[in-house]
Structure 1
Amino acid sequence: MSSVGSTTPSSRSSGSRPRRAFPPTATFRPRSLPRAPCRVERLGILPGMIRAVLFDAAGTLIETREPVGGVYARHARKHGVEISARRLGEAFARVFEAAPPLVFPGLGTEERGEQERGWWRARVHETFRAADSAQRPDDFEALFEGLWRHFSDPGEWKTRRDAAETLVRLRAQEIQTGVVSNFDGRLPGILGGLGLLSLLDTVVLPADAGAAKPDPRIFAMALERLAVRPEDSIFVGNDAQRDLAGARAAGLRAVDATALATLADLPLTTTGSTAP
């Protein structure tokens, strides 16, 4: 989830989900051609010929440095609203769970960015109404702008422990890596600021696929870009429905990131031929 820019309810601490100064919305394309497959051994998954490992973003590879509720509460106080971080965090989680997909098909980059920003503005408004409908900020637009900028800053995010090292290990085994996220167009900028973008072969967002997880189309676009089959791929995510059930419905094997102490707990063992 995110919170005006993250896609995790309490920093997921979980995104989208989305929080950055106005997004660099350029579509991210695969950097390289498919590589030869290697065998990868995973928690609870029988070894098989794996050619790609895809990840969710917020809550799996990255997370906010401060819980969403705490950020909302701090910014709200500047505008005359006193609501606890706990109540705001819980309200955000409910609002995010019920929100429509962040999908705006048929729009150009600039117009889509405006629509994504408007989507987040609506979620922030709903969050404060759900937390305490009796309180109103003295300047909602300024409150929203402050939240948008906060979550747009890569410095307000951090990588999950061993995330970069895990991506490096996968690539060392000639396994392609990518992100499939329900985040908005700011995500590539955040991943770049955290040093992860160069370790990924593709980043697929709802704006690219015209669909959001758990819709199989967003997974299919990532597989198409990497030229790999679902059965040769693994998806690592933290949301039971959007990530795990969605990936399985699309034919991928799924790993629950919440079951891992760190991403290094995905043991990688090359056991087979690396020939195509």
Structure 2
Amino acid sequence: MPDSPIRWVIFDAVGTLIEPTPSVATVYTTIAKQYGSLIDEEIVRERFRDTMNARLSDQTDEAMEYDFWQRTVAEVIGPTNDDRRCFEELYEHFAKPSSWRLKTGAQECVSALVSSGIQLGVASNFDSRLHGILDSVDLLQQLKLRLISSEIGWRKPARQFYERVLTDTGVEPSKHLMVGDDHDKDILPARQLGMRTFHVSESSSEAAAGSLFQLTDWLRNIDED
């Protein structure tokens, strides 16, 4: 892709490049039961989804993220025989690289982009735990730019988050490709600032959408506007 108009490909992390293994609902349920909870995994899954969807503030930092996850565990699991230790075990679990795996197609996609010479970055609603996860995978160390919400003070879809992407790359918006699985947080706000986008979804109505396997083919065929 030597003639590609894209100079930077920016990936979302969770749900796009990496995913928890086992799933969040399975881990929450398993650890909660160790602390006396009898909660059902399907209830955990529903409550977790509702809690994520209900989050309102786009401003954040490390302390706010920690507090958010503490409240989330309490709301999702409910009371246990040791709420503090239950939360700490869950929080530490998702800091471990072994709790995550590459999404299907991530290995091939990132490897191809590294070979092409396009600059790569990650832009994620996460906290400092993400550094250890990325550092544990040689491939993901190739994503030289890391923008993590807790460190820059804003969460996607805040305009300020994407403005920080543009500031750190120093390249005009149209030369960026934002790749993510969340249409409202990854695709729409990036496009509003003039970035190109690729929606990682098999069911998206977007013209530029599909699997990570399809992303590299799409980049080869892209034309200058």
TM-score with structure 1 setting the length: 0.72
Q: 1:160 aligns with which of 83, 92, 103?
A: 103
Instruction: Give the deviation of 1:210 after TM superposition.
Output: 2.2
Instruction: Give the deviation of 1:161 after TM superposition.
Output: 2.0
Q: Distance in 2 between matches of 1:235 and 1:167?
A: 14
Q: Distance in 2 between matches of 1:163 and 1:101?
A: 30
Which structure has the highest helix share of the two?
A: 2
Query: Residue 125 of structure 2 aligns to a residue in which SS?
Result: coil
On the 8 A contact 1:38/1:51 being kept in 2, the answer is no
On the 8 A contact 1:188/1:197 being kept in 2, the answer is no
Change (3 A) 1:196 1:183: farther
Instruction: Give the deviation of 1:177 after TM superposition.
Output: 0.7
Q: Are 1:194 and 2:137 an aligned pair?
A: yes
Gapped regions of structure 2 (runs ≥ 5): 203-208
Q: Are 1:85 and 2:21 an aligned pair?
A: no
Instruction: Give the deviation of 1:154 after TM superposition.
Output: 0.6
Q: 1:244 aligns with which of 187, 200, 207?
A: 187
Gapped regions of structure 1 (runs ≥ 5): 1-36, 41-48, 105-111, 130-135
Instruction: Give the deviation of 1:216 after TM superposition.
Output: 2.0
On the 8 A contact 2:10/2:120 being kept in 1, the answer is yes
Query: Residue 36 of structure 2 aligns to a residue in which SS?
Result: coil
What's the counterpart of residue 213 of structure 1? 156
Q: Report the count of equivalent residues.
A: 216
Q: What amino acid is the match of 1:123?
A: T
After TM superposition, list the pairs within 5 Å mapping 1:3-18 onto structure 2: none
Q: 1:94 aligns with which of 50, 56, 63?
A: 50
After TM superposition, list the pairs within 5 Å mapping 1:123-134 onto structure 2: 123-129=72-78
On the 8 A contact 1:57/1:180 being kept in 2, the answer is yes
After TM superposition, list the pairs within 5 Å mapping 1:116-155 onto structure 2: 116-129=65-78, 136-155=79-98
What's the counterpart of residue 269 of structure 1? 220
Change (3 A) 1:215 1:113: closer
Instruction: Give the deviation of 1:229 after TM superposition.
Output: 1.2
Aligned structure 1 segments of 4 or more residues deviating by more than 4 angstroms: none
Instruction: Give the deviation of 1:99 after TM superposition.
Output: 1.7
After TM superposition, list the pairs within 5 Å mapping 1:60-75 onto structure 2: 60-75=16-31
Query: Residue 223 of structure 1 aligns to a residue in which SS?
Result: helix
Using the aligned pairs only, state the percent identity: 32
Change (3 A) 1:167 1:156: same
Give the CA RMSD over aligned residues: 2.3
What's the counterpart of residue 123 of structure 2? 180
**Deviations, residues 211-251 of structure 1 (Å, cap 9, x unaligned):** 11111221221222222111111111111211111211222
**Deviations, residues 148-185 of structure 1 (Å, cap 9, x unaligned):** 11111110100112313322221222211111111111
Q: Distance in 2 between matches of 1:39 and 1:137?
A: 58
On the 8 A contact 1:102/1:182 being kept in 2, the answer is no
On the 8 A contact 2:109/2:212 being kept in 1, the answer is yes
Q: What amino acid is the match of 1:192?
A: D
Q: Distance in 2 between matches of 1:172 and 1:39?
A: 14
On the 8 A contact 1:185/1:207 being kept in 2, the answer is yes
TM-score with structure 2 setting the length: 0.87
What's the counterpart of residue 224 of structure 1? 167
Bigger mean CA deviation after superposition, 240-249 or 51-60: 240-249
Q: Distance in 1 between matches of 2:174 and 2:122?
A: 17
Instruction: Give the deviation of 1:262 after TM superposition.
Output: 4.2
Q: What amino acid is the match of 1:256?
A: H
What's the counterpart of residue 8 of structure 2? 52
Change (3 A) 1:82 1:102: farther
Change (3 A) 1:80 1:208: closer
